[in-house]
A and B are shown apart, each in its own frame.
Chain A
Amino acid sequence: MTSEADAIQKEPSMLVQKAMIAEHYEKLAHAKELGKKVVYTFVPGNLTELMNAFDVLPVYPEINALSSAMRQKAGRYIAEAERLGHSEDVCTYVKCDIGMKRQGNVGPTGQPLPPPDLLLLSYTGCFTFMKWFELLREEYGCPVVMLHTPYQGDGEITDNMRRYVVEQLEREVIPAFERLTGTRYDEDRLKAAMAKSAQAEDDMVAVLESAKHRPSPIDAYFGGVYYIGPMFTAFRGTAGAAEYYAQLRREVGGRVASGEGPITPEGPMGEQRYRLVVEGPPNWTNFRELWRMFHEEGAVVVASSYTKVGGFYDQGFRHDASRPLESLADYCMGCYTNRSLPQRLDLLERYVRDYEADGLLINSVKSCNSFSAGQLLLLREIEKRTGRPAGFIETDLVDRRYFSAANVKNRIESYLQMIGEKRRSRGARGARGEEVRP
């Protein structure tokens, strides 16, 4: 009998990525023997190039949480945290991480993760990050270095904001790494890594923008989370990541040339009846099930905001080796959830138009106020600005209790029917010679 795992269809680049991740976790499992220091940090605003320049191994607690959810282990971790007194109201990433730690801190490859030697609190776009690492500081009793990334409240990065981040890097973060590793900061190493980052970023943007083709060769949400994996985590700035993105770009380019769609876990995607932009993080407990709901309806995601949480590249930003610290500062401040609601709205509108989407679907997750607060206004405004329908589903990041498959499916189907109705009505008006707005 073939297991479900065996039956899942994968793109070739996914296998490459899997090997990269396995190697990283292998290193983590043997960090002590390898003499490597371990730094826990967050995906948004991560300083991967800098960490690599100090030869430390990063761990991303959000990644641990989401992979626990995909392996259906998050429920008992969350229960453990709630038993310890954590409220049912708060972020389930945090509870999943704390529960996982309390139950042995076993990572996705089945090996225990090493405790952190340092917590790099890259406080970017999410207030909860700050609380999370205050909690982990108590759990592990290890030092924390804070990098406070100012928020783009007025929709811009000012000189003052950039200077503040650079000064923290120079006076707090880099000295903390020097103390941790006993090595001096080598800016040339950082610059070399940033040059590799920029190369990979070019390729990743090309991959994401390939969704402007019809049919789209990628799914920019469910598939997108795989495409952003190396870039948003431990591999940005490495030769491995540069090679991965070059391969991915070739792979996707091949599908563009042959007119093929993305490969989903259910197999190659057939007719693409709906093109959607999705706002909000995915649900991880029922990731494949949710993707299947889209697949069955012929809905492909052509752009998503989630693929911008760990770096915002498709509007021109690249890591710039000629001004390394300033560029790192701009990278941190540019991450999606560090942008104001009006900026997010402008971006989503642009995506709907540029990717010729039928509409916007919001996946509102209970755990993430940073994403979720204001999404209902985004929904209305997108409809008003583009004339295209917006839909709304509610799930959670890693808490299965907040995933109601029937409810979600029903909402998706209703939303797609609404798009269909809108198309028919536009077609009828067009046939009568009336003006038809896009």
Chain B
Amino acid sequence: MHTADAPDPTSGALGPILARADALYHDLTLSAVREHKEAHGAKAIGCLPIWAPRELVDAAGMLPVGLHGAGDRVEVIRGDAYFQSYICQIPRSTIEVALTGRYDLLDGFLFPAICDVIRNLSGMWKILFPGKLSRYVDVPQNFDPAVGGAFFARELRALAEDLSALSGRPVTDEALHASIARYDENRRAIGELMALRERAPHKATASESYLVIRAGDVLPVEEHTAFVRAYVAAAEASDRKPRDHTRVVVTGAFCEQPPLGLIRTLERAGTYIVWDDMTLGARWPEGDVEGEDPDPFVALARAYIARSPATASRYEPSGEKGVPLARLTHKSRAEGVIFAAPSFCDPALLDQPMLTGALDREGVPWTAFKYAENLGQFQVIREQAGTFADSIRLWSDR
């Protein structure tokens, strides 16, 4: 339901774009993927957060499909039987959706190295779905291009061979260069959206941007690039007026996603989320891959090494934990940081004391709460975020 303090999403050119994004987000049967497969005779590969090399999947002639659990859109029954109460929610809903047949149309799955739970989920997949390609994607935590970079490039080549065997189309250097170019363009488009959010968050709200980026989970990359740009143009052209909201960064949500209602709750509480780490998988590496190296596998690996964003699942070799977050907060002119981490998310929650320490040193206000992707009650969070936003508005030197 539209509320008085939120922009009307149905107005003007934004209406149909957002309606489509919303429909894609809510469609757990992945109709768009099915239609693509039928139209092109292509296969599709599910990619869990964050570091899935979608370019390889695309270059093998298949559709990479972003998987982020099922949020609050399914009732988890069978999935709960596979995990103890102290394991986060995303593997439960992922298993639930798979066991109920909604991932049957996916021909393979990539599980990037982001934590022990997703790592072990990759093994569970091999046991539960032995007929599907299931690959753990180990990303280097050594950031020497000659060591970690070289390792990752060789891993990517091995993965490309598996993908090629599945699709029947070899991942040639030429094909991979072309895919990299498509994804570079996509990242530029998303960059334009993020820039608009930073410049005019009243025009491109976080919840809308989220839906628009999430559409890339199921759309072919070029179609998604055009979709993002259509939204940016429509949002830019809208006559939405700025409000006296507090600009914040939201971090900790790089894997299990907050329910859409929670993002909207933060907005209704009086914040403009000018940067967040939701959908980080669609935004790495930062900048173009093409040009990094003539060998496209090396280029992908080096781009990861040099320009993957600082996040809890990535070792910070410099020892400057929290500095990238503080820098990003200043750059985006955010007035505070909201730590929103899924319950039982070891990486995000273990990171938090280091990040809050860095913010304290910089004098950046912050608040923290935990959520689960199927959270249904937002009142407490609304009050907490509202108080946080109000306190900044009332007491800071803005």
Q: Does B bind A? A: yes
Closest Cβ of chain B to A251, distance in Å, is: 37
Which of A135, A148, A369 is within 8 Å of B148, CB to CB? A148
**Chain B residues with Cβ under 8 A from A150's Cβ?**
138, 151
Interface pair A377/B349, CB less than 8 Å apart = no
Among A121, A128, A144, contact of B350 (Cβ-Cβ < 8 Å): A128
Count the A-B residue pairs with Cβ separation under 8 angstroms: how many? Answer: 166
Contact B353 A148 (CB under 8 A): no
Contact B119 A160 (CB under 8 A): no
- Check: B390 CB closer than 8 A to any chain A CB: no
Residues 82-128 of B at the A interface (beta carbon under 8 Å): 82-84, 86-87, 91, 111, 113, 115-117, 119-124, 126-128
Q: Does B144 contact A (CB under 8 A)?
A: yes
What mask results when residues 80 to 93 of chain A are scored 1 for a CB within 8 Å of chain B, else 0?
Answer: 00001111011100
Partner of B119, one of A148, A153, A345, A375: A153
Instruction: Evaluate contact between B144 and A171: CB separation under 8 angstroms.
Output: yes
Report whether A172 and B142 are in contact in the complex, using a CB–CB cutoff of 8 Å: yes
Whether the Cβ atoms of A148 and B312 lie closer than 8 Å is no
Looking at A161-169, A194-202, A261-269, the stretch in contact with chain B turns out to be A161-169
Which partner residue on chain A sits nearest B315 by CB separation? A130
Assess whether A94 is interfacial by the CB under 8 Å rule: yes
Q: Could you say which of B36-44, B234-242, B339-347 contacts chain A?
A: B339-347
Counting CB contacts under 8 A, is A364 at the interface? yes
Query: What CA separation (Å) do A163 and B154 show in the bound complex?
Result: 11
B151 engages A135 (CB within 8 Å) = no
Q: If A341-B127, A373-B83 touch, does A89 touch B343 (CB 8 Å cutoff)?
A: yes
Q: Is B10 part of the binding interface, using a Cβ–Cβ cutoff of 8 Å?
A: no
- Does B352 count as interface, using CB distance less than 8 angstroms? yes
Which residues of B (189-229) have their CB < 8 Å from a CB of A? none
User: Is A297 part of the contact surface with B, judged by Cβ < 8 Å?
Assistant: no
- Interface core residue of B128, B343, B347 (most chain A CB under 10 Å): B347
Nearest-Cβ distance from residue A322 to partner chain B, whole angstroms: 24
B351 at interface, CB cutoff 8 A: yes
A interface footprint on B120-140 (CB within 8 Å = 1, 0 otherwise): 111110111000000111101
C-alpha spacing A367/B312, complex, angstroms: 18
Contacts of A372 in B (CB 8 A): 84, 86-87
Question: Are A85 and B352 in contact, CB atoms less than 8 angstroms apart?
Answer: yes
The count of residues in chain A whose C-beta lies closer than 8 Å to any C-beta of chain B is 54
Q: Would you give the shortest CB distance from B356 to chain A, in whole angstroms?
A: 6
Do B127 and A376 touch across chains, with their CB atoms under 8 A apart? Answer: no
Residues 134 to 187 of chain A near chain B (Cβ within 8 Å): 134-135, 137-138, 144, 146, 148, 150-151, 153-154, 158, 160-161, 163-164, 167-168, 171-172
CB distance B128 to A131 under 8 Å?
no
Alpha-carbon gap, A427 to B84, bound state (A): 35
Q: With A and B bound together, what is the CA distance between A126 and B347 in angstroms?
A: 11
Tell whether B158 is near chain A: CB-to-CB under 8 Å. Answer: yes
Q: Which residues of A contact B343 (CB under 8 A)?
A: 89
* Chain B residue at minimum C-beta to C-beta distance from A91: B346
Q: Bound complex: CA of A132 vs CA of B353, how far in Å?
A: 12
Chain B: CB-nearest residue to A147? B142
* Interface assignment of B287: CB less than 8 Å from any CB of chain A: no
Name the A residues within 8 Å of B357 (CB-CB): 138
B87 touches A90 (CB 8 A): no
Is B380 among interface residues, defined by CB-CB distance under 8 A? Answer: no
**CB-defined contacts of B83 to chain A, threshold 8 Å:** 373, 376
Q: Are the C-beta atoms of B126 and A340 separated by less than 8 Å?
A: yes
B137-157 contact mask (Cβ, 8 Å, vs A): 1 or 0: 110111010111011001100
- Asked whether B312 lies within 8 Å of A154 as measured between CB atoms, the reply is no
Could you tell me the distance in whole angstroms from the C-beta of A191 to the nearest C-beta in chain B? Answer: 24
Which of B86, B128, B155 is the most central at the interface, judged by chain A CB atoms within 10 Å of its CB?
A: B86
User: Given the interface contacts A85-B352, A341-B123, A370-B120, does A377 sit within 8 Å of B128 by beta carbon?
Assistant: yes
- Give the distance to chain B from A220, nearest Cβ to Cβ, in Å: 24
Contact across chains for B141 and A153 when beta carbons are under 8 A apart = no
Bound together, the chains give a CA A158 to CA B343 distance in angstroms of 35
**Interface digits, A358-392 against B, CB 8 Å rule (1 contact, 0 not)?**
00000010100110111111000100000000000
Binary CB contact string for chain A from 250 to 284 against chain B (1 if under 8 A, 0 otherwise): 00000000000000000000000000000000000
Q: How far is the CA of A231 from the CA of B291 in the complex (A)?
A: 49
Q: Which residue of A lies closest to B344 (CB)?
A: A89
Which one of A84, A161, A164, A340 lies within 8 Å of B147 (CB-CB)? Answer: A164
Most buried by B among A128, A161, A163, A340: A340
Minimum distance in angstroms from B56 CB to a CB of chain A: 16
Q: Give complex CA distance A135, B351 in Å.
A: 8
Measured in the bound complex, the distance between the Cα atoms of B345 and A137 in whole Å is 21
Q: Decide: B155 and A160 in contact? CB cutoff 8 A.
A: yes
Question: With an 8 A cutoff between CB atoms, is B370 at the interface?
Answer: yes
B:323-350 near A, CB below 8 Å:
343-347, 349-350
B123 touches A131 (CB 8 A): no
Once the chains bind, are A130 and B141 in contact (CB under 8 Å)? yes
Known: A90-B349, A137-B319. Is A151-B136 also a contact (CB below 8 A)? yes
Q: Once bound together, how far apart are the Cα atoms of A371 and B135, in whole Å?
A: 20
Instruction: List B contacts of A138 (CB < 8 A).
Output: 321, 354, 357
- The interface centre, meaning the residue of B123, B136, B317, B321 with most chain A CB atoms within 10 A of its CB, is B123
Structural contact, B158 and A90, CB atoms closer than 8 A = no
Question: Shortest distance in angstroms between A42's beta carbon and chain B's nearest beta carbon?
Answer: 14
Contact B141 A135 (CB under 8 A): no
| A84–B350 alpha-carbon span in the complex (Å) | 12
A96 to chain B, nearest CB (A): 14
- 17 CB contacts below 8 A, A to B, read A85-B353, A89-B86, A89-B343, A90-B346, A94-B350, A123-B141, A127-B115, A135-B354, A146-B142, A150-B138, A151-B136, A160-B154, A160-B155, A164-B142, A341-B122, A343-B123, A345-B127
Given A138-B357, A373-B116, A377-B127, 11 more contacts at CB 8 Å?
A85-B356, A91-B346, A130-B141, A150-B151, A151-B113, A151-B119, A160-B158, A167-B147, A171-B147, A374-B121, A376-B81
Binding site for B on A (CB under 8 A): 84-87, 89-91, 94, 121, 123, 126-128, 130-132, 134-135, 137-138, 144, 146, 148, 150-151, 153-154, 158, 160-161, 163-164, 167-168, 171-172, 340-345, 364, 366, 369-370, 372-377, 381, 394
Q: Give B residues with C-beta under 8 Å from A.
A: 81-84, 86-87, 91, 111, 113, 115-117, 119-124, 126-128, 135-138, 140-142, 144, 146-148, 150-151, 154-155, 158, 312-313, 315-317, 319, 321, 343-347, 349-354, 356-357, 370
